[in-house]
Amino acid sequence: MRPRNVGELPAPASAGESGDAACGDVARFTVRIKDNVIEDVRYKVYGCAACIAAGSALTELVNGEYLLDAARVSKAVLEVALGGPLPSGKEHALTLALDALHKAFEDHWNREGGALLAEGYGPAANGAGKSVVAAMSGGVDSAVTALLLKEAGYDVATVTFRLHDGEKGSRSCCSPDTVLFARDTAHRMGLPHFTLNLKELFNRRVMRDFVGSYGEGRTPNPCVACNAHVKFHAAAFLADGLGFDRVATGHYARVAEGPTLARPVDGAKDQTYVLWPVPKELLARTIFPLGEYHKPEVRKIAEEHDLAVAYTPESQDICFIPDGNYRRFVRKKLDAEPGDVVDREGKLLGRHNGVVDFTVGQRRGIGVSAPTPLYVTEVRPESRQVVVGRRRDLDVREIRVRGLNWFLAPEEARSVQVRYNSEPVACEVEASESGEWVAHLSEPVAGVAPGQSAVFYTGDGERVVGGGVVSRRT
């Protein structure tokens, strides 16, 4: 049969390309989408006959269809349209054609979003219906999230974010292989899948902030920054574009009356600490299905439904630094100048190669020998000084917090948590004339660093009152 829909639509059609000319197979799709309907589609394939056939069959499947239905077409559906399994060694044709089409969909959303996806999508209207966009990273938590929502009767669309140029074959949530894996997982559950290119936004609001913070002597949390500026806003953008009501992620948390964040059933997986920046208006339309489950239960659900993600390992802490060496990453982006290591009285103890190598509370790698262990107690980027002292010099009884996002009235705050895995400490909070909030701690806390998050909880320790960023410690 002669291939149909061959060619390329003229601009402003959206386009997507997949493959590698060096390997011999390249597929390119152009689509025209209006009101979430595919009005027209064309394809070009440079490669083997199987790839040409897959491209032709895929255009027949999606032309004139609703975007959601087109995004649901899987490799299995495409294989049936081709008349059965492809010859051994030609299965890649299915992946190639689908990936090119989905990159055209991605281009469509980029055109629709424009500056919104580059600068950040603002608060969206509340939604309480039964349609939801579920973020899917390629791991077990996000996959089970989508599955639970589907089984609960929601109309589910899934989305994977391209946040940075993850390495092929890596475990990064943004690597090319992981995007394909997430798409295949969604399709095996019968769910539509989209990708959104958020590289520019992620670079500006997360990676640059991460690098700049170390240069300014602060200790950043990139997961907090991503939740504040990227993931939830992007999911809301897609939900609004599809006419969907709600958004969901695989975080271990719950939404309580307020709305506010509440700790999950599985305390060991509690992620409320990194979710404090989510705007209240957006939290009102957010679902966290895993808040009611323990992690072993989540893996069991994945096993029972034969999801390939059931045995995937936990992801690394910083997605854009696969090897975990954040100092090397920062030094590639930032010029570091040497300076002095001094004690609290200003006495010179040694030299260092740059303040970017240090954070408050650090003990190893200081480069100064002493009869008792020394810890970094302060980083002074202006004078390029790293101040060190004894363990007890790290203790603070008061911290100042800026950039607060309140879910409940500030007077409900009874404790504060200053690290992801630390226990909350009882406190009293008050507003200062500078616009910051001051937390007076009932007992000393060691190693609080500017740039860390301070998250306030209610008296029972279960609900988040609000959170912000540590500006100073005294």
Indicate if 217 and 339 belong to the same structural domain. no
Indicate if 154 and 243 belong to the same structural domain. yes
- Structure confidence at residue 3 (pLDDT): 78
- Structure confidence at residue 125 (pLDDT): 57
- Structure confidence at residue 122 (pLDDT): 64
- Structure confidence at residue 474 (pLDDT): 66
Task: Say if 9 falls within a structural domain.
Answer: no
**Could you tell me the CA-to-CA distances from 345 to 102, 106, 368, 376 in Å, in that order?**
61, 57, 16, 14
With a pLDDT cut of 90, the percent of the chain lying above it is 77
Indicate if 293 and 165 belong to the same structural domain. yes
Indicate if 222 and 351 belong to the same structural domain. no
Average pLDDT over residues 340-353: 95
Neighbours of 471 (CB within 10 A): 17
- Structure confidence at residue 98 (pLDDT): 97
Residue 280: burial class (beta carbons within 10 Å; 0-12, 13-18, 19+): middle
Task: Say if 322 falls within a structural domain.
Answer: no
CB 254 within 8 A of CB 291: yes
Which 8-state DSSP code applies to residue 207? I
Q: Is the pLDDT of residue 211 over 70?
A: yes
Indicate if 107 and 126 belong to the same structural domain. no
Task: Say if 326 falls within a structural domain.
Answer: no
Specify the pTM.
0.92
- Which residues belong to the active site? 226, 319
Phi, psi of 50 (to 5 degrees): -65, -40
Indicate if 439 and 347 belong to the same structural domain. no
Task: Say if 93 falls within a structural domain.
Answer: yes
Q: Is the pLDDT of residue 18 over 90?
A: yes
Residue 400: CATH number of its domain: 2.40.30.10
Indicate if 134 and 109 belong to the same structural domain. no
Q: How many domains does the chain have?
A: 4
| CA nearest neighbour of 381 among 214, 220, 201 | 214
| CA nearest neighbour of 251 among 229, 223, 219, 282 | 223
Q: Is the pLDDT of residue 17 over 70?
A: yes
- Pairing type for strands 375-380 and 286-287 reads unpaired
Residue 349: CATH number of its domain: 2.30.30.280
Task: Say if 1 falls within a structural domain.
Answer: no
Task: Say if 419 falls within a structural domain.
Answer: yes
In tens, the pLDDT along 313-338 reads 776 668 888 778 888 899 988 888 99
Who has greater pLDDT, 23 or 381?
A: 381
- Structure confidence at residue 403 (pLDDT): 95
Q: How far is the C-alpha of 254 from the C-alpha of 376, rounded, in Å?
A: 36
Task: Give me the chain's average pLDDT, please.
Answer: 91
Indicate if 69 and 85 belong to the same structural domain. yes
In tens, the pLDDT along 149-200 reads 999 999 999 999 999 876 554 445 555 688 999 999 999 999 999 999 999 9
- Structure confidence at residue 169 (pLDDT): 47
Among residues 53, 87, 113, the one where a domain terminates is 113
Greatest mean pLDDT among 125-129, 190-194, 429-433: 190-194
In tens, the pLDDT along 275-318 reads 999 999 999 999 999 999 999 999 999 999 999 898 887 766 68
Structural domain of 458: 394-473
Indicate if 96 and 173 belong to the same structural domain. no
Task: Say if 316 falls within a structural domain.
Answer: no
Average pLDDT over residues 1-20: 88
Indicate if 132 and 236 belong to the same structural domain. yes
Task: Say if 96 falls within a structural domain.
Answer: yes
CB 145 within 8 A of CB 301: no
Indicate if 380 and 410 belong to the same structural domain. no
